[in-house]
Amino acid sequence: MPAVGAGRRRYPAKRSAEAVRKAAKYPVTARSGDQLLVVVVGVGADGWGGLTEAAREALRAGQVLMGSRRQLGLVPADVGGRRVEWPTPLVPALPGLLAEHAGARVCCLASGDPMFFGLGTTLVRLLGARRVRVLPHPSSVSLACARLGWAMDAVDVVSLVGRPLSAVHPAVQPGRRLIVLCADGHGPAALAGLLVGRGYGGSPFTVLENLGADDERARAGTAASWCGSDEPGGGQHSGKRGDGVADLNLVAVECVPGPDADHLPRTAGLPDGAFEHDGQLTKREVRAVTLARLGPAPGQLLWDVGAGSGSIAIEWMRTHPACRAVAVEPQPDRVARILRNADALGAPGLRVVGSPAPAALAGLPTPDAVFVGGGLTTAGVLERCWAALPPGGRLVANAVTVESEAVLAGWHASHGGDLVRLAVARAAPVGGFTGWRPMLPVTQWSVTKTAGPAGPAPGRQPAPEHNNSPDTTQSQP
Q: What's the chain's length in residues?
A: 477
Q: What is the pLDDT of residue 228?
A: 65
User: Does residue 31 register a pLDDT over 90?
Assistant: no
Q: Among residues of the chain, what percentage have pLDDT more than 90?
A: 80
Give span(s): CATH 3.40.1010.10, the chain: 22-138
User: Does residue 354 register a pLDDT over 70?
Assistant: yes
| Separation of CA 243 from chain center | 30
Residue 301 forms beta bridges with which residues? Answer: 324
How far apart are the two ends of the chain, measured CA to CA in Å?
78
**Going by DSSP bridges, is the β-strand pair 249-254/35-36 parallel, antiparallel, or unpaired?**
unpaired
Q: What is the mean pLDDT of the chain?
A: 86
Q: How far lies 158's CA from each of 167, 200, 266, 418, in Å?
A: 8, 17, 15, 38
- pLDDT digits over 134-173, tens only? 999 999 999 999 999 999 999 999 999 989 999 999 999 9
**DSSP characters over 44-56:** -TTGGGGS-HHHH
Topology of domain 22-138 in CATH is Cobalt-precorrin-4 Transmethylase; domain 1 (3.40.1010)
217, 205 contact by CB (below 8 A):
no
CATH superfamily of 142-254: Tetrapyrrole methylase, C-terminal domain (3.30.950.10)
Give span(s): CATH 3.40.50.150, the chain: 272-448
Give span(s): CATH 3.30.950.10, the chain: 142-254
- pLDDT digits over 373-423, tens only? 999 999 999 999 999 999 999 999 999 999 999 999 999 999 999 999 999
- Cβ neighbors of 397 (< 8 A, separation 6 or more) are 371, 372, 373, 376, 382, 408, 411, 444, 445, 446
CATH classification number, 272-448, choose in 3.40.140.10, 3.40.50.150, 3.40.1710.10, 3.40.50.300:
3.40.50.150
